């Protein structure tokens, strides 16, 4: 941080790139986070150590910007220096009114070379859970039936956008939080907090 404040720039060695191609289509209840957890659980948390990650494929194209931001944010947990997604119309629409300077979308070169290419079939994924204390210990959510918890965190930097909060609200609607559980909702930005939406009341 001191370097950035003094020089206004950061120095990076140009990293090699690995490609994650995600085919198929996510089932209901399966999200972008599950794509990430599948990669971290299958290939380990050093799979992208000082590398760039390029995410592509039909399932990535289908993701909302919230979903892509989730994966981009979590990629640092894999050691990635950069997490790249192709700029499509969704991206351009999102940037309208947000971009503070002119920009030019880029695409991978037709002859782009990757250090390694991995393939994930989104159609085969199910809701996943990372077990403490590593993102490499990943199991299907059904593996953790009847597990007692003391605290539930909804949101945070990777999963605190409106799409995530709305998903949590659908699960919690009409239910109550157990008296022995502390339930914390943490929107990822002021925009997520302030954006008008239907009020949701969580009862204890």
Annotate the chain with three-state secondary structure.
CHHHHHHCCCCCCCCCEEEEEEECCCCCCCCHHHHHHHHHHHHCCCCCCCCEEEEECHHHHHCCHHHHHHHHHHHHHHCCCEEEECCCHHHHHHHCCCCCCCCCCCCCCCCCCCCEEEEEEHHHCCCEEECCCCCCCEEEHHHHCCCCCCEEEEEHHHHCCHHHHHHHHHHHCCCECCCCCEEEEECCCHHHHHCCCCCCCCEC
Element (H, E) at 22: strand 17-23
Confidence of residue 196 (pLDDT cuts 50, 70, 90): low
pLDDT, tens digit (0-9, with 9 covering 90-100), for 88-100: 999 999 999 889 9
More confident: 146 or 58: 58
pLDDT, tens digit (0-9, with 9 covering 90-100), for 141-151: 999 988 999 99
Least confident window among 17-26, 35-44, 122-131, 167-176 = 167-176
Mean pLDDT of 164-173: 89
27 by DSSP, 3-state: which? coil
Element (H, E) at 35: helix 32-43
Asked if the model's pLDDT at residue 185 lies above 60, the reply is: yes
Residues linked to residue 56 through DSSP beta bridges, in sequence order? 21
Confidence of residue 48 (pLDDT cuts 50, 70, 90): very high
Length of the chain in terms of residues written: 204
Asked if the model's pLDDT at residue 198 lies above 70, the reply is: no
Considering the entire predicted model, what is its pTM? 0.87
Confidence of residue 202 (pLDDT cuts 50, 70, 90): very low
Confidence of residue 197 (pLDDT cuts 50, 70, 90): low
pLDDT, tens digit (0-9, with 9 covering 90-100), for 124-142: 999 999 998 899 999 999 9
């Amino acid at each position: 941080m001191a370097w950035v404040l003094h020089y206004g720039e950061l120095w990076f060695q140009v990293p090699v790139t690995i490609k994650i191609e995600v085919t198929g289509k996510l089932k209901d209840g399966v999200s972008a986070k599950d794509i990430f957890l599948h990669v971290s659980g299958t290939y380990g948390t050093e799979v992208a150590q000082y590398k760039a990650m390029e995410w592509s494929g039909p399932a990535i194209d289908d993701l909302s910007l919230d979903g892509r931001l989730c994966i981009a944010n979590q990629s640092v947990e894999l050691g990635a220096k950069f997490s790249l997604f192709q700029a499509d119309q969704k991206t351009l629409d999102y940037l309208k009114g947000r971009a503070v300077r002119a920009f030019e979308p880029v695409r991978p070169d037709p002859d782009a070379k990757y250090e390694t290419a991995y393939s994930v079939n989104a159609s085969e994924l199910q809701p996943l859970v990372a077990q403490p204390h590593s993102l490499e210990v990943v199991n299907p959510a059904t593996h953790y039936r009847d597990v007692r918890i003391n605290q539930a965190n909804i949101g945070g930097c990777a999963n605190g956008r409106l799409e995530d909060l709305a998903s949590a609200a659908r699960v919690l609607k009409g239910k109550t939080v157990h008296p022995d559980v502390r339930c914390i909702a943490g929107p990822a930005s002021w925009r997520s907090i302030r954006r008008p939406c239907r009020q949701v009341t969580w009862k204890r």
